[in-house]
């Protein structure tokens, strides 16, 4: 098992272990359509999400990533629209796990890399599956590949590793 030590703006000295091969051995109910690298290249979270995490994750994830280190820039999002709530909102809802203070995407990146925390993995996969309802809303209300229809919902789906460019 490989140990990862995290020292970024939100965590100092946090350690976790990678028990699975990167990108492999996912829970059978968890089938994301996009990798973290693909998400960062497409443009998610207004470019601000991972700007201080390059030491934790593979350098290749940041090649061609649409990032904005100084401040959010929603023009970097694939659908050029803000589609997420603030971190303080997520905290107030109790959706943030202490080990992943940035939320679902941080959990997904670490899960993708090979970290497993059974109870938390199950909780996050359940949240991911619940978000799929937005795919149905886009399919039922938009013509296929009409990217001007429900742009905010399409962007939010990208944030959850659903490839809304296909619908």
What is the count of structural domains for the chain?
1
Residue 13 lies in a domain: yes
Q: Give 16-59 pLDDT, tens digit per residue.
A: 999 999 999 999 999 999 999 999 999 999 999 889 999 999 99
Structure confidence at residue 134 (pLDDT): 95
What is the mean pLDDT of the segment spanning 151-165? 97
Instruction: Annotate the chain with three-state secondary structure.
Output: CEEEEEECCCCEEEEEEECCCCCCCCCCCCCCCCCHHHHHHHCCHHHCCCCCCCCCCCHHHHCCCCCCCCCCCHHHCCCCCCCCCCHHHHHHCCCCCCCCCCCHHHHHHHHHHCCCCHHHHHHHHHHHHHHCHHHHHHHHHCCCCCCCCCHHHHHHHHHCCCCHHHC
Structure confidence at residue 49 (pLDDT): 84
**Residue 91 pLDDT exceeds 90:** no
**Residue 90 pLDDT exceeds 90:** no
Confidence of residue 86 (pLDDT cuts 50, 70, 90): confident
Residue 82 lies in a domain: yes
Residue 29 lies in a domain: no
Domain, as residue range, for 129: 2-23+34-166
Q: Give 96-114 pLDDT, tens digit per residue.
A: 999 999 999 999 999 999 9
Q: Give 126-155 pLDDT, tens digit per residue.
A: 999 999 999 999 999 999 999 999 999 999
Residue 80 lies in a domain: yes
Structure confidence at residue 138 (pLDDT): 97
Structure confidence at residue 75 (pLDDT): 97
Residue 61 lies in a domain: yes
Structure pTM? Answer: 0.95
What is the mean pLDDT of the segment spanning 55-79? 96
Residue 46 lies in a domain: yes
């Amino acid at each position: 098992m490989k140990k990862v030590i995290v020292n970024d703006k939100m965590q100092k000295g946090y350690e976790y272990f990678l028990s699975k091969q990167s990108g492999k051995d996912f829970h059978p109910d968890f089938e994301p359509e996009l990798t973290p690298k693909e998400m960062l290249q497409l443009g998610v979270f207004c470019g601000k999400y991972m700007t201080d995490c390059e030491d934790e994750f593979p350098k290749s994830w940041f090649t061609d990533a649409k990032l904005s280190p100084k401040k959010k820039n929603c023009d970097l999002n694939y659908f050029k629209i803000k589609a997420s709530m603030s971190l303080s909102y997520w905290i107030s809802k109790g959706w943030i796990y202490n080990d992943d203070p940035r939320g679902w995407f941080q959990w997904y990146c670490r899960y993708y890399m090979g970290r497993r925390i059974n109870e938390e993995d199950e909780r996050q996969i359940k949240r991911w599956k619940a978000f799929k309802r937005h795919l149905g809303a886009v399919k039922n209300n938009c013509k296929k590949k009409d990217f001007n229809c429900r742009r905010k919902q399409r962007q939010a789906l990208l944030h959850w590793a659903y490839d809304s460019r296909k619908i």
